[in-house]
Structure formats: C-alpha cells, structure tokens
Homo-oligomer: A and B are copies of this chain.
C-alpha cells in the first residue's frame, strides 16, 4: 500500500463530539515555516502527448496554462475546501513533465508559508487543478484522459514531518 498511518490520532480532527464538521482552532499554535509537495499523474495516449509537445514547442501554452491554473488555485484553497484555513502563501510552484513516449504527464507542486497550520491542502489543490486544466486543454484531442494519481509527497514544519515511503 502506498499510504502510511504513522502517528495517526484516534479521532477525526474535523469532527466534534456530536459528529458535526468543524474547523480546527489554530489560535494557540505558534506560526512556523511550513512546506508541502504533492504530485499528480495524468495519462494520455502517446499520440496526444506528441501533439501537446509539438503544439507546445512554439509557445508552450498547454503546460504553461496548466501550471498557472494550479498556482492560482493554490491561493484559493480556502474557498474550495470548506474547513481549510486562509493562509498567506509565501510561495507556490507547479512543474509539469510530459513524457511523449509513455503519454504520462507528471505534475509536481510545492507550497510554503509561515503559519499556524500546514499547506498540504494548498499543494494538493495546486496539483488537482493543474491536472484538471491539462485535461481541459487536451479533451478535444482525446476523450477520457485519466488522472491516475494525486497524492502528497512530503510535508515539513508541523508537529511531525512526513515523507511518502518509497
């Protein structure tokens, strides 16, 4: 299994005693430097990837548009995720590598802040929206392109650092 439950608490931090959804109160925490990296994998036909790569050559807009959409979405994570805190990101970046032979686009995001809570949702949101935008821009070329994976790679700066096991 590609997941890990180390250091897991025994209750849902977003659910109070009555089962109602709640936001975690971070008021008593000191701000610390936080950073998170996430990854999404989008699989298309190699022929599609070739067109993207070629069409990408002159101005690079498929990849560039997806990158920007991911960066912009990270800044709006608190609007998308109901119980997420509003965070002033000090940095967010998205990179996309497209392998024309396999048709696999690997999207990686990194987000950082100095805050009382972490930025893993910001990193995950950046990857998700970059993947959706990539999908949007090639859906006229190929139907049914799949996002095959969306997951956190690493987070640091909170109570426990975490890195996805190899």
Query: Which A residues are closer than 8 A to B by beta carbons?
Result: 1-15, 18-27, 33, 43-45, 47-48, 51-52, 55-62, 64-65, 67-69, 71-73, 75-76, 78-93, 95, 112-116, 120-121, 124-125, 128-129, 131-133, 135-152, 162, 164
Q: A68–B82 contact, CB under 8 A?
A: yes
Q: A80–B120 contact, CB under 8 A?
A: no
Q: Closest CB of chain B to A97's CB: distance in Å?
A: 11
Q: B83–A71 contact, CB under 8 A?
A: yes
Q: A142–B21 contact, CB under 8 A?
A: no
Q: B91–A65 contact, CB under 8 A?
A: no
Q: Would you give 12 A-B contacts (Cβ < 8 Å), ordered by A? A: A3-B142, A3-B146, A6-B143, A21-B71, A25-B90, A27-B33, A61-B64, A71-B82, A72-B82, A121-B132, A145-B151, A149-B149
Q: Closest CB of chain B to A39's CB: distance in Å?
A: 10
Name the residue of chain B whose CB is nearest to the CB of A64: B64
Known: A19-B61, A90-B25. A151 touches B143 (CB 8 A): no
In the assembled complex, the Cα of A150 lies from the Cα of B131 at a distance in Å of 10
